[in-house]
Amino acid sequence: MSSPQQWSAADVPDQTGRTAVVTGSNTGIGYQAAAELAGHGAHVVLAVRDPARGEAAADRIRADHPGATVSTARLDLASLASVRAAAADLRAAHPRIDLLINNAGVMFTPRQDTADGFEMQFGTNHLGHFALTGLLLDAMLTVPGSRVVTVSSNAHRFKAAIHFDDLQWQRSYSRVGAYGQSKLANLLFTYELQRRLSAADAPTIAVAAHPGASNTELIRNLPAPMRPLAAWTSKLLFQPAEMGALPTLRAATDPAVTGGQYFGPDGWQQQRGHPVPVRSSRQSHDEEIQRRLWAVSEELTGVSYRV
């Protein structure tokens, strides 16, 4: 076992008997987290937009971990109809869910709308996961030790605010600003959900994590002239997805984790390293903003929580 300061995948406890749903898990840190959970005995559901890519990812996990139990579910977080259909299928197949990892996301997309008219980054990264969590929570609230883990980013600090007067960026648009808003929303959601779970004395906890600077496919949405340089920089400076997945895995499995914690790398500026509890921005802890965003999210998605 590694030391607490050097927590690694070797520290993931036995997951036998647990069911884990991981969004965006056919590639990147989502795939790495799903593979580790499956390798440690969990039944892992890869909730992905492209079923063919999901099945290919499941096959890779089974090849690397013979005997692993892996299934797939179609989920497009940019469509509330898809979120509702996926949640219904998941509840029917898995009446008990131990772990929901809200990992999927898009970054720096050009200005475009989801199927429901939401700005793509806010709609996918926050509203899609808000709706999915609310629709699956009943399958978790009776499960001791169940967890909702939502993946945020250091970008929640950069040009980040919840633009309540223009949530969908219709007046003007900034790729970086819209991404920062969505990642700040992930944290505000986590902290408000944890407060509600605690008030209900639920066995479920809400935790957040961020991967630091990780080499994943998220750069695909950068403007075309920037992609070659970004790809070269990522390979040279960023940590591999296996390391980027560790904060998520610790948030999801470490028995010492408590609700409302936030995990990230322990290196310089939380860019690289092993997962430890880290601080998020002061704004992310503003309870008034948390409650206001929650109310707006319920209104926009039509999903209300029992807690």
The pLDDT, as a whole number, for residue 264 is 97
Give the contacts of 282 (CB within 8 A, at least 6 positions apart).
Answer: none
**Secondary structure, 3-state, 6-53:** HCCHHHCCCCCCCEEEEECCCCHHHHHHHHHHHHCCCEEEEEECCHHH
Q: Which is it for strands 99-102 and 147-151: parallel, antiparallel or unpaired?
A: parallel
Would you state the structure tokens that stand for residue 114, as one six-digit string? Answer: 């989801």
The pLDDT, as a whole number, for residue 2 is 44
Measuring CA to CA, which residue among 306, 252, 259 is closest to residue 99?
A: 252
pLDDT band at 297, cuts 50/70/90? very high
The pLDDT, as a whole number, for residue 223 is 56
Q: Rounded mean pLDDT of the chain?
A: 93
Q: What is the rounded average pLDDT of the residues 282-288?
A: 98
| Lowest-pLDDT range of 20-24, 186-190, 191-195, 231-235 | 231-235
Q: What is the rounded average pLDDT of the residues 204-212?
A: 97
Q: Which positions are annotated as active-site residues?
A: 179
pLDDT higher than 80, residue 74 = yes
Rg (C-alpha) for the chain, rounded Å, is 18
Give the contacts of 228 (CB within 8 A, at least 6 positions apart).
Answer: none
Q: What is the rounded average pLDDT of the residues 98-118?
A: 97
pLDDT higher than 60, residue 260 = yes
Share of the chain above pLDDT 70, in %: 91
pLDDT band at 268, cuts 50/70/90? confident
pLDDT higher than 90, residue 111 = yes
The pLDDT, as a whole number, for residue 215 is 54
CA distance 81 to 303: 12
The pLDDT, as a whole number, for residue 255 is 98
Q: Per the confidence metrics, is the pTM higher than 0.85?
A: yes
| DSSP string for residues in 101-160 | EE-----SPPS-B-TTS-BHHIIIIIIIHHHHHHHHGGGTTTSTT-EEEEE--GGGGSS-
Q: What is the rounded average pLDDT of the residues 179-195?
A: 98
The pair phi, psi for residue 281, each rounded to 5°, is -65, 155
The pLDDT, as a whole number, for residue 81 is 98
**Where do the domains of the chain lie, and which CATH numbers do they carry?**
13-214+241-301 (3.40.50.720)
Q: Which helix (H) or strand (E) holds 71?
A: strand 69-74
pLDDT higher than 50, residue 204 = yes
pLDDT band at 158, cuts 50/70/90? confident
Share of the chain above pLDDT 90, in %: 87
Q: What is the rounded average pLDDT of the residues 147-151?
A: 98
pLDDT higher than 60, residue 67 = yes
CA distance 179 to 98: 29
Per DSSP, the three-state class of 206 is strand
The pLDDT, as a whole number, for residue 269 is 86
pLDDT higher than 50, residue 234 = no
pLDDT higher than 80, residue 8 = yes
Q: What is the rounded average pLDDT of the residues 171-186?
A: 97
Q: What is the rounded average pLDDT of the residues 232-260?
A: 86
pLDDT higher than 50, residue 257 = yes
Q: Which is it for strands 262-265 and 275-277: parallel, antiparallel or unpaired?
A: antiparallel
Q: Which residue has the tokens 């929570």?
A: 137
Evaluate whether 191 touches 284 at the Cβ level (below 8 Å). yes
Would you state the structure tokens that stand for residue 137, as one six-digit string? Answer: 């929570």
Specify the DSSP class assigned to residue 222: S
Give the contacts of 134 (CB within 8 A, at least 6 positions apart).
Answer: 301, 303, 304, 305
CA distance 135 to 51: 21
Q: What is the rounded average pLDDT of the residues 42-66?
A: 98
Measuring CA to CA, which residue among 76, 22, 301 is closest to residue 189?
A: 301
